[in-house]
Amino acid sequence: MAKIKIAVAGCLGRMGQEISKQILQNKNLEFVGGFEHKKHKDINKPLNKVSSIHSAKLVTANAAQLIKEANVIIDFTTPESTLDNLKIASSNKTAVVIGTTGMTNAQKKKVKSHSKKIPILMSSNMSLGVNLLFNLVKQTASALKDNDYDIEIAETHHKHKKDAPSGTALSLGEYAAEGRKTKLNKSKVLDRTKKLTSRKKGDIGFSVTRGGEIAGEHTVSFIGADDRIDLIHKANNRSIFVHGAIEAAIFLSKKKKLGLYSMKDLLF
């Protein structure tokens, strides 16, 4: 069986390096290379000289070349870079796994538009455990009514993370809102410091912590008058996200049908 050819966008980023290393260790996959923004200081340098990736391939700014060669690209970069890469992938019929967070609704619509030309799997969190948590949150929110239980979502990440709340926290909020047959935009509360008012029925509150090198922790609390239920996921390291991203790439490589997929399609 032919190896699945995978290219990595943002190969020198935290996730990019870990994904590249795991591809190189998988006998069923072929690492065709990694690319970075043209202004990156390590362009045209060997990966094994500027990172922990054991490959002599050069860090390139020529995304088009690698995307054309690959069966799948894995992209954990920025919303703007991801959309640029999607344009190239669409013209080359290359499947894309997107782990980029912080996208606006308008940017997500553009992703969906590209999925009419190529298979795309996009998830705010590639962890299999977190994706199981999404379903648990929806079920719990449906069972515990807003008259009786308030929903609060807390998340903690490393100090380098820029978007807040995390994409995963917002996804958890969306599943909670779906369980209560409403929209997150109608119920989310991101900042309680601007208005001196008591909590409203149906609010879904968010709190954010940034510090150290924490890979990711998420807690969804259902708080009633007499009890509290916490659904918690803690990532000890990035390996769970890497494993999920590679499983997603393998999944997409076998998909002959175009469309926008999620980790839910892989799991269930």
- List the one residue out of 100, 220, 209 whose CA is nearest residue 157: 209
How many Cβ atoms are within 10 Å of 205's Cβ, its own excluded?
19
User: Catalytic residue among 40, 108, 161, 255, which?
Assistant: 161
Indicate the helix (H) or strand (E) that contains 14.
helix 14-25
For residue 37, indicate whether it is catalytic: no
Cβ contacts of 255 within 8 Å, gap of 6 or more: 95, 119, 261
**Closest to 158 in 3D by CA, of 101, 106, 217, 202:** 217
The pair phi, psi for residue 209, each rounded to 5°, is -125, 135
What is the distance, to the nearest Å, from the Cα of residue 107 to the centroid of all Cα atoms in its chain?
14
Find how far residue 260's CA is from the centre of its chain: 14
Token duo for residue 12: 């020198």
Inter-residue contact 141 to 175 (CB < 8 Å):
yes
Q: Is 218 a catalytic residue?
A: no
The shares of helix, strand and coil residues in the chain, as percent rounded to the nearest 5, are: 35, 25, 40
Residue 155: what residue type? Answer: E
Paired with 154 in beta bridges are 207, 219
Phi, psi of 112 (to 5 degrees): -60, -35
- Burial label for 22, CB within 10 Å (0-12, 13-18, 19+), is middle
**Positions marked catalytic:** 157, 161
